[in-house]
Amino acid sequence: MQLICHDCWNYTYFEVDVETLRELKGGNGHLTIQDTKFDDFNYSQSMLRDNLNDIVAYVIKENGAALIWDPESKSYQNNYISCARCGSKKVTKPYSYWHSNKHQSLDRELLANQKEFTELRKERRYANRMPVLYKK
Amino acid sequence: MQIECLSCTKSNEFLLPLWVSTTFKFNEDDTLSILHLRPLESMSEKLAGNSSLREISCKECGSNEVEIIFNEYDNQDDDEVSALEGL
């Protein structure tokens, strides 16, 4: 357990804003948008993963520095990471521990986790609703 | 639409940073897996805005001195008109 949400106690799914790099390739009046590649190295995907790892590692290491005081809710909120289940920004670490990620293509990883993400969104949308009876 | 590097004038490849909202999860072995990416900025709006001129850089030389020409035929028409007026 690396981080935990203080509203729904989720410790698995989170959201963070990350900067990545795209390449604009011009020619014959057309503009193509694609991943930045140097030889065979995909710099866009690498930058995204590095920035994500950096922010998460920073929040875990400097827990207090990543928190800001919100006078409206009278609570500390995470400046970088929010909960992907309930959207709360009351995310802190229970303790600090970190491993680097093993390499995997971003497209494959997104495809492999597509079903899980869909289930996650359904859960958020219908979590607090009663079952509905449909008439034929 | 055309982008020109004013520094090296050779490259047709440019780099533009963009912010995305990343949904991720912690795996059981404490590694990260990315579940979903949602762009926070529109590429077209960013290109049309003047602020993007400083952010776009040439892939070849790294220079930020870049000119975006939205309609490259505008100047050509003016040139043709002035040439006809000269005749």
Q: Is A19 on the interface with B (CB under 8 A)?
A: yes
Q: Do A27 and B12 touch (CB under 8 A)?
A: yes
How far is Cα A46 from Cα A103, in angstroms, rounded to an integer? 10
> Is the Cβ–Cβ distance between A43 and A36 less than 8 Å?
yes
Strands B13-26 and B57-58, by their bridges, are antiparallel
Sign of CA pseudo-dihedral B76, B82, B85, B87: negative
Given a contact cutoff of 8 angstroms between Cβ atoms, the answer to whether A98 and B30 are in contact is yes
pLDDT score, position B59:
84
Which member of A1, A24, A56 has the closest CB to residue B32?
A56
Cα–Cα distance measured from residue A110 to residue B73, given in angstroms and rounded to the nearest whole number = 41
0.85 surpassed by complex ipTM: no
Structure confidence at residue A100 as a pLDDT band (50, 70, 90) = very low
Q: Which residue has the higher pLDDT, A96 or A119?
A: A119
B interface with A, Cβ–Cβ below 8 Å? 1-3, 12-26, 29-37, 40, 43, 56, 59, 72
Name the band, by pLDDT with cuts 50, 70 and 90, for residue A102: very low
Report the phi/psi class of residue A23: left, alpha or beta, with left for phi > 0 and alpha for psi in -120 to 50.
beta
Closest CB to A23 among B15, B33, B36: B15
Give the up-direction half-sphere exposure of residue A42: CA atoms within 13 A in the CB hemisphere.
13
| CA pair distance B1, A110, nearest whole angstrom | 32
A66 within 8 A of A33, measured Cβ to Cβ: no
Residue of chain B nearest A55, judged by CA positions = B22
Whether chain B has a CB inside 8 Å of the CB on A132: the answer is: no
Q: What is the DSSP letter of A60?
A: H
B57 within 8 A of B67, measured Cβ to Cβ: no
Q: Where are the domains of chain A?
A: 4-103
| pLDDT tens-digit series, residues A60-92 | 888 788 888 888 877 788 999 999 999 999 888
Distance from CA of A33 to the nearest CA of B (A): 9
